[in-house]
Each structure stands twice: as structure tokens, then as C-alpha cells.
């Protein structure tokens, strides 16, 4: 492994770090990198994720935290987009039910907004944008999505966030019902991360 074989995730979300670590283990190229959270993440001035797009938030966050670290930084912005709700929760997915709300509270608000909607009005997609930056320079921004529908009620105990109400029609399960291998294969984050690994190898060439 090269000296630049370590990548830091700009997030305090343990679920995201666990997913990326698992994805890296499953991908032959990803195994050449070490992944960890940005050290002392909560003590670093917080980045204001107030941009109107996932890409701007991801790139801005990666740039911001890379200035405090000696290693390349990965940042993501991801969320659930429901066209029938005007794109909500969208970039405000984590703050949809207010600052400090739990996953259960965010899901409760979403289901209340979806009440009475049927057919195409329940269509939704997860979006993930990942950016990588090094020393205040953005190196790459990649994205992907997964399509499904908003379930009538939560199902499953896996995953996090809106996973229990995101019904993935291709497998007939919510994301919270998928096995780890299934989610890594089909999820928006899994697909975007595999794209990011290709970019990381172009820049850092870990071996």
C-alpha cells in the first residue's frame, strides 16, 4: 500500500462508515485502501450543508474537511427524493423532521406526507453523490441512484435512515430487509462508491 492509501470519511454517521468499509472489502480495488472517519470530526468547525444540490454539498464538505486533514477526504450527500412531494425530503433528508430528529421521526413525517398517495405518486429514488478532496482541492465528484417506491409502513430491521420505507421493487423488499450483500450491490451508495474507487486509483494508485 502506498503512503496515500488511507481515505477519511467526513461524517459522524457510523452507518455510512460501516457501509463504505464493507464495500471496500468486497471490491478488489477497494481493499487496497484503508478507510476511517475524519479524526476528531466533532471538534472541527462544522460544514454548513445548505446548498440546493447533493453535488454542491458533497464537494463543499470534502473540500472543507480536507483542509484539516493530512489525508484525502471522502464526503457524501445522499437522500431520498419523492417527485410527488416536489423532490422532498431531498437535500434536507437528514433534517426533514427538524434538527436532532430520529430516523423514526423522519419516517413518520414522510409517511404522513404520503398519506392518500397511490400508484406513480409513491415513486421515489435514493441519490448518493460522493466527492473526494485532498488539501483543499476537489479531485472527483461521482453520483448514482436507485429507484423504488415509498412503502405504506416500515418493514425490516436493517440499514438506517429511510431504508425501512424504501421498497426496492426489483427484489420485492425494503432496503431494511435486504441482506448486506444485496444492499451493497444495489444501493445508490454502493454504486456511487464503486465509481469513486476508480477515481481514487487514478489519483493515488494504491498498490
Question: Whose CA is closest to 206, among 24, 64, 17, 19?
Answer: 24
Give yes or no: 77 in active site. yes
Question: Which position has the grid cell 473540500?
Answer: 63
The one catalytic residue among 27, 40, 48, 77: 77
Contact criterion met (CB below 8 Å) for 138 and 96:
no
Q: How many CB atoms lie within 10 A of CB 37?
A: 15
Three-class SS state of 129: strand
- Cα 203 to chain center, whole Å? 22
Strand-pair partners of 149: 123, 167
Edge-to-edge strand list for the sheet holding 137-150: 34-37, 6-9, 73-81, 123-134, 137-150, 166-168, 173-174
Three-class SS state of 50: coil
Query: What is d(CA 203, CA 141) in angstroms, rounded to the nearest whole number?
Result: 13
Question: Which position has the grid cell 435512515?
Answer: 161
HSE of 194 in the Cβ direction (CA atoms, 13 Å)? 13
Query: What is d(CA 181, CA 178) in angstroms, rounded to the nearest whole number?
Result: 8
- Residues marked active site are found at 77
Amino acid at each position: 500500500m502506498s503512503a496515500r492509501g488511507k481515505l477519511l470519511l467526513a461524517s459522524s454517521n457510523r452507518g455510512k462508515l460501516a457501509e463504505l468499509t464493507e464495500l471496500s472489502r468486497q471490491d478488489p480495488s477497494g481493499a487496497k485502501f484503508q478507510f476511517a472517519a475524519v479524526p476528531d470530526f466533532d471538534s472541527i468547525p462544522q460544514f454548513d450543508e445548505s446548498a440546493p444540490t447533493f453535488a454542491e454539498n458533497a464537494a463543499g464538505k470534502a473540500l472543507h474537511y480536507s483542509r484539516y486533514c493530512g489525508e484525502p477526504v471522502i464526503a457524501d450527500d445522499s437522500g431520498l427524493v419523492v417527485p410527488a412531494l416536489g423532490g422532498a425530503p431531498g437535500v434536507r433528508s437528514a433534517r426533514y423532521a427538524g434538527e436532532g430528529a430520529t430516523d423514526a421521526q423522519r419516517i413518520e413525517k414522510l409517511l404522513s406526507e404520503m398519506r392518500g398517495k397511490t400508484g406513480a405518486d409513491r415513486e421515489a429514488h435514493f441519490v448518493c453523490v460522493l466527492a473526494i478532496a485532498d488539501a483543499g482541492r476537489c479531485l472527483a465528484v461521482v453520483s448514482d441512484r436507485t429507484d423504488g417506491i415509498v412503502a405504506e409502513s416500515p418493514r425490516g430491521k436493517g440499514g438506517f435512515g429511510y431504508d425501512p420505507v424504501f421498497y426496492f421493487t426489483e427484489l420485492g423488499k425494503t432496503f431494511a430487509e435486504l441482506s448486506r450483500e444485496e444492499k451493497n450491490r444495489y444501493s445508490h451508495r454502493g454504486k456511487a462508491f464503486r465509481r469513486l474507487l476508480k477515481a481514487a486509483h487514478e489519483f493515488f494508485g494504491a498498490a
